[in-house]
Amino acid sequence: MRYELYYWAGIQGRGEFVRLALEEAGVDYVDVARESDDNGGGEAALLRYLEDATIVRPPFAPPFLKAGDLVIGQAANILAYLGAHHGLAPHDEAGRLWANQLQLTIVDFLVEIHDTHHPIGANLYYEDQRDEALRRTADFLKRRAPKYLDYFETVLERNPTDSDYLIGATLTYPDLSLFQIVAGLRYAFPRAMARLEKKHAGVVALHDTVAKRPRIAAYLASDRRIPFNEFGIFRHYKELDAKR
């Protein structure tokens, strides 16, 4: 079976958490909106699907993944599915719940990261909410980012196996997502992250370990990895990362 990922072609966004899992799993997939229109791809294919009134179980928004007859929406939900089917999640119920719990906490973190540059509304331009973004980002960097990073550092410290990973001795899908969070925060807030990383050695080690995994390293070096940019979730605006 060839998976079909539907996500915006020009950004990492929430789709990137799925891309990383598909790459690490080494499965066959097509990133539909990045295919040419001639091939039935492009964002037009994505929009056609979203507007198709015959879909009985429609997704609210991208990303969604076609897996044979299944169409699965919401990144954390897609990851739970891929984790269970491709060895990227624990097998026991307690482990599966724990992986999902960590992933949902990463999603909460991600929403707060997004809202640093869009505190008033995703439909408005950054430039039209820049003053509010400055205020929100100050609170985020002072209180929220440290709180989340402290939490994941604690989870890593308490992992009884002493691995670099969040759960047990082997990689699971939340590790891929936490890697992406660190990579994104480094892009968006290089100044603030340099300071924060000093207190979160375990989180940094997890990032580095994931980045070196052969399939992830190959993916990051390929043109399948879209560069960070100012249309995605992690955006670098110098004024937001400035000393205050």
- Residue ranges that bind a second copy, judged by CB under 8 A: 55-60, 69-70, 72-74, 76-77, 80-81, 93-94, 97-98, 100-101, 104-105, 108, 111, 115, 119-121, 123-124, 129, 132, 135-136, 139-140, 143-144, 148, 151, 154-155, 158-160
- Report d(CA 148, CA 155) in Å as an integer: 11
Q: Using the minimum distance from each CB to a second copy, give the nearer residue, 55 or 211.
A: 55
Backbone angles phi and psi of 62, in degrees to 5: -65, 155
Backbone angles phi and psi of 66, in degrees to 5: -90, 125
State the nearest-atom distance from the C-beta of 216 to a second copy, in Å: 25
Q: Using the minimum distance from each CB to a second copy, give the nearer residue, 131 or 208.
A: 131
Q: Using the minimum distance from each CB to a second copy, give the nearer residue, 46 or 216.
A: 46
Q: Using the minimum distance from each CB to a second copy, give the nearer residue, 135 or 212.
A: 135
Which among 147, 119, 234 is positioned nearest to 185, based on CA atoms?
A: 234
Q: Is the dihedral of CA 104, 109, 111, 112 positive or negative?
A: positive
Token code pair at residue 225: 């990895």
State the nearest-atom distance from the C-beta of 234 to a second copy, in Å: 18
- Report d(CA 117, CA 84) in Å as an integer: 34
State the nearest-atom distance from the C-beta of 119 to a second copy, in Å: 5
Distances (CA, A) of 96 to 84, 105, 146: 8, 14, 26
Q: Using the minimum distance from each CB to a second copy, give the nearer residue, 104 or 201.
A: 104
State the nearest-atom distance from the C-beta of 25 to a second copy, in Å: 17
State the nearest-atom distance from the C-beta of 28 to a second copy, in Å: 20
State the nearest-atom distance from the C-beta of 202 to a second copy, in Å: 14
Q: Using the minimum distance from each CB to a second copy, give the nearer residue, 84 or 220.
A: 84
- Strands 29-31 and 3-6, bridge-based pairing: parallel
| DSSP labels, 143-160 | IIHHHHHHHHHHHHHH-T
